[in-house]
Structures are given as structure tokens and as C-alpha cells.
């Protein structure tokens, strides 16, 4: 299968938060949310806030000199990052041929990209190590664990959940820049593709997001126009303002929309619990007219879908996504052994879903309501995670791959999609 992967790929500089180091740097600071980072103090206040709330966030760094100041005090572990880069790697591992938008591939990044990924250059698909340049986009990732404590001049800050804060200085990805070679190849070969997965929109700056989104919306619409069978999934992110996500999803010509629970709450009112998430996803799908809307949380994955693939296949796809993320969290690789412990909150929610009339299917369940199929799968628990970054992207990519396989099976059997 040939799949378009756009728009963002970069290096992640990962720092596992050391409480004593943060204690020394954050003296006198309060936990407060930020929209951007103009100095080190902004970063530390935002980090304390995320730890206090157990939430994740992604904030832009204003200037290159600020990025250099942030890089100095911490010991970094460099990994592949960027939604499109991570998802392309997952799908290449599973056997697909991802065609990646990668306008700046430094040697470190090229070595981290899966060799099965292809990057267009002058109409030819090349391996990552064949397109090495000097430029690299780097994102700073601050990972913290549940129960971690940081002392401040006020009360101690205790993280309620494991999560991360990402600080980015990335002028290419923030503009969702796509290389002319990538654009030309996709335009010329669009009928050769089975699917497209697009993401990274949340990195756009608030000052010019409409202009950036409009260009990408036009490009994605042209792909769908020229290849109506192309299955397009758009993955959301931590937008700086709710109106940015509303603007995008109201205009985007895609089949499927995905997000986590925080992102869902930015565009829909979400009642507490799994039923609240289910109802919000149902409303969002109906309001926007997508064929599929899904939310992945720590405890479970819910999708609401109409006329795409059989419900049993969707439950299988969600299960594959949950297992891939658990394997990555536990071992550092989606090909590693996934833990076997099912998330208790997700398991109890699935049992309630079954009592509501859902049909049991593997580890999950589904319910048919009119034209909608609601599918539910509990997550797998990784008690001692090695990774917390990229789990949502891994879940999404594995689900998308399985959905594409199911769609190809239907096509080969002569069924209409």
C-alpha cells in the first residue's frame, strides 16, 4: 500500500524531568499556562502547570536564541519526532510504502527514519539516507511521571499523571511547509495512492493560521478530487486556541478525524466518563459530516463510523492500534511484546457498553445505531513505560493501516466503499 504522510517530521530532544534540577531553576515561579515561550521562565511555569494538571501541551518558542537558552541546562536524548515522521515509521514497519514530506533531513534524522520510508526528489522516490541535508528541526520534550514532585516557593507541585510538555522552535513545520518535490510527486501520482494521513496543524502560529490552513485544505481537497477513492485521515493536536481547530475541521475535506480527549474537549462539550466521550464524538461526526471520528484516551479508544468498513474490522483496527502503542510504551518498539494487562477503567467501560446493548468482539465491542457504528476497545496498560511521546501517533497509524487493509479487501471482493 502506498500512503501519503504529511506534514511534519523533526528530531525530538527528550528530557526526563529531574525534580531536583527543576527545583533549582523554577524557584519563585508559579504553575501557569502559556500560549508561547519567550524565555526560560515561560517554559518552567508551563511545565509546572502541566505537572499540576497531569496534562500535555505543545508551545512555540519565539526566537532561536531562546531555543539555545533552553537547550543548555538539560541532558537530551535525541529521537525521531513529528506526527508524520512517526506515523510513516509505524506504517513502514507494518509493511506499507509511506511517501513522506521531509523538507529538512539532517544526518541524525535520516538515520532514525525507517529505511522503508520514501522521500520524493525530482520525481524519484529515495530512501532517507539518500537525501541528507544540513538542516534539522528540533523539538524539546519534557517528560514527567505520575507522582513526581517539584518544590516551589509555594506548595509542592505533584504531577497527577504521566505526561509531557513540548517546546518547539521549528519555522518549517510551524508553516506546514511541504517541499516542491513532494507536492509535485503527489499531484502527478495521486491515483497510485491508497490513503493519506495528514497532521501537524496544531503547530501553526495563531497570527497566520488561516492562511496556512487554507493552503493545506486546498491541497488535500485536490488529492481527493483527483482520486475519490483515496482514504484521508486527519489527526489533530494541542492547538493553541480552540478556534483554530474549529476553523480547520469545518473546512477540511477528509474522511476520518482523530484526536485525544483534551483535543475533543476543545471543540465539543464533554460530559465526564466514557459515555460523555462517546456522545461528544457522535455529535462531532454528525455536525461536521466526516465518515469517521475517533478519540484515543489513556483508557480506551472510541470511533463513530458510517459506511467505511465492517464493524468487526474496525474493532480489529482499534485493537491493533492499542496493542502497538502499548508495545512501544513498554519496549520502545511496536514490534516488541505488548503487555497483557488490560486497562481496568477501559475494561469496566466496555462492560457497561455491552450492558447497553453492544456486541462483543474480541477485546472490544461495537453497537450499530442507524447509519452509525460505534466501536470501543480498552487500552493496554504499560506500568513502566519507556516512552510517552508518540503513543497517540502510533495508535493512529496502526489503526489507519488496518482500515486501509480492510478497505482493499472490500474492493477486491467487489464491494462499493
Using omega within 30 degrees of 0 as the cis cutoff, is the peptide bond preceding 136 cis?
no
Neighbours of 398 (CB within 10 A): 27
* Mean pLDDT lowest among 134-148, 177-191, 229-243: 134-148
Whether 213 maps to a domain, the answer reads no
Whether 56 maps to a domain, the answer reads yes
Q: What's the structural domain count of the chain? A: 2
Q: What is the CATH number of the domain that holds 416?
A: 3.40.1190.20
Q: What letter does residue 37 receive in the DSSP assignment?
A: B
Average pLDDT over residues 7-26: 90
Whether 160 maps to a domain, the answer reads yes
| Alpha-carbon radius of gyration of the chain | 21
Residue 123, sorted as left (phi over 0), alpha (psi -120 to 50) or beta, turns out to be left
pLDDT of residue 217: 98
d(CA 69, CA 73): 8
More confident residue, 19 or 185: 185
pLDDT of residue 390: 86
**C-alpha cell at position 45:** 511555569
383-394 tens-digit pLDDT = 888 877 789 999
Q: What is the CATH number of the domain that holds 42?
A: 3.30.1110.20
98-126 tens-digit pLDDT = 999 999 898 989 999 999 999 999 999 99
Residues 6+ apart with CB under 8 A from 292: 255, 256, 257, 285, 303, 304, 305, 306, 308
Contact 245, 223 (CB under 8 A): no
Tally the C-alpha atoms within 13 A of residue 11's C-alpha that lie toward its C-beta.
18
Chain position carrying cell 457497561 = 352
Whether 354 maps to a domain, the answer reads yes
339-374 tens-digit pLDDT = 999 999 999 999 999 999 999 999 999 999 999 999
pLDDT of residue 417: 56
Whether 384 maps to a domain, the answer reads yes
pLDDT of residue 94: 97
User: In which band, very low, low, confident or very high, does the pLDDT at 216 lie, cut at 50, 70 and 90?
Assistant: very high
Per the structure, the complete domain to which residue 369 belongs is given by: 296-417
pLDDT of residue 416: 63
Whether 376 maps to a domain, the answer reads yes
| Strand (E) or helix (H) holding 153 | none
d(CA 181, CA 189): 12
d(CA 324, CA 336): 9
Percent of the chain with pLDDT over 90: 76
254-308 tens-digit pLDDT = 999 999 999 999 999 999 999 999 999 999 999 999 999 999 999 999 999 998 9
User: In which band, very low, low, confident or very high, does the pLDDT at 174 lie, cut at 50, 70 and 90?
Assistant: confident
Any alpha helices (H) in 356-413, and if so which ranges? 391-412
d(CA 407, CA 195): 10
Whether 225 maps to a domain, the answer reads no
Examine the pLDDT at 211 and tell me if it is beyond 80: yes
17-57 tens-digit pLDDT = 999 899 888 888 889 999 899 999 999 999 999 999 999 88
Residue 326, sorted as left (phi over 0), alpha (psi -120 to 50) or beta, turns out to be alpha
pTM of the model: 0.86
Average confidence score pLDDT of the chain: 93
CA dihedral 248, 251, 252, 258 (to 10 degrees): 50
Whether 391 maps to a domain, the answer reads yes
Query: How close are the terminal C-alpha atoms of the chain, in Å?
Result: 17
| Strand (E) or helix (H) holding 214 | helix 209-226
Amino acid at each position: 500500500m502506498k500512503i501519503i504522510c504529511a506534514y511534519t517530521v523533526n528530531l525530538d530532544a527528550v528530557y526526563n524531568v529531574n525534580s531536583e534540577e527543576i527545583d533549582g531553576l523554577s524557584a519563585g515561579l508559579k504553575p501557569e499556562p502559556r500560549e508561547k515561550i519567550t524565555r526560560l521562565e515561560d517554559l518552567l511555569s508551563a511545565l509546572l502547570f502541566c505537572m499540576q494538571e497531569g496534562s500535555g501541551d505543545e508551545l512555540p518558542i519565539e526566537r532561536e536564541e531562546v531555543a539555545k537558552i533552553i537547550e543548555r541546562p538539560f541532558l537530551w536524548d535525541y529521537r525521531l519526532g513529528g506526527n508524520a515522521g512517526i506515523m510513516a515509521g509505524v506504517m513502514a514497519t507494518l509493511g506499507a510504502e509511506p511517501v513522506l514530506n521531509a523538507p529538512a533531513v539532517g544526518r541524525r534524522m535520516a538515520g532514525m527514519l525507517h529505511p522503508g520510508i520514501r522521500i520524493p526528489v525530482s520525481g524519484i522516490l529515495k530512501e532517507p539516507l539518500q537525501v541528507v541535508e544540513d538542516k534539522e528541526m528540533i523539538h524539546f520534550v519534557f517528560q514527567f511521571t505520575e507522582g513526581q514532585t517539584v518544590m516551589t516557593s509555594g506548595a509542592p507541585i505533584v504531577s497527577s499523571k504521566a505526561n509531557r510538555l513540548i517546546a518547539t522552535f521549528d519555522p518549517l513545520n510551524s508553516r506546514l511547509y511541504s517541499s516542491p518535490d513532494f507536492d509535485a510527486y503527489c499531484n502527478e501520482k495521486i491515483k497510485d495512492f491508497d490513503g493519506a494521513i495528514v497532521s501537524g496543524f496544531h503547530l501553526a502560529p495563531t497570527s497566520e493560521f488561516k492562511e496556512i490552513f487554507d493552503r493545506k485544505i486546498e491541497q488535500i481537497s485536490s488529492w481527493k478530487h483527483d482520486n475519490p477513492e483515496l482514504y484521508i485521515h486527519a489527526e489533530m493536536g494541542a492547538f493553541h486556541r480552540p478556534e483554530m481547530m474549529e476553523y480547520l475541521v469545518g473546512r477540511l475535506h477528509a474522511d476520518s478525524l482523530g484526536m485525544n480527549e483534551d483535543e475533543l474537549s476543545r471543540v465539543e462539550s464533554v460530559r465526564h466518563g466514557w459515555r460523555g466521550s462517546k456522545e461528544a464524538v457522535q455529535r462531532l461526526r454528525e455536525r461536521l459530516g466526516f465518515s469517521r471520528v475517533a478519540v484515543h484516551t489513556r483508557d480506551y479508544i472510541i470511533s463513530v463510523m458510517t459506511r467505511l468498513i465492517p464493524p468487526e474490522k474496525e474493532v480489529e483496527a482499534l485493537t491493533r492500534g492499542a496493542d502497538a502503542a502499548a508495545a512501544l510504551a513498554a519496549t520502545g518498539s511496536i514490534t516488541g511484546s505488548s503487555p497483557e494487562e488490560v486497562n481496568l477503567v477501559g475494561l469496566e467501560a466496555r462492560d457497561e457498553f455491552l450492558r447497553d446493548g453492544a456486541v462483543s468482539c474480541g477485546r472490544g465491542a461495537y453497537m450499530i445505531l442507524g447509519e452509525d457504528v460505534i466501536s470501543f476497545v480498552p487500552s493496554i496498560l504499560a506500568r513502566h513505560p519507556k516512552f510517552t511521546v508518540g503513543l497517540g501517533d502510533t495508535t493512529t497509524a496502526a489503526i489507519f493501516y488496518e482500515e486501509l487493509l480492510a478497505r482493499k479487501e472490500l474492493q477486491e471482493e467487489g464491494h462499493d466503499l
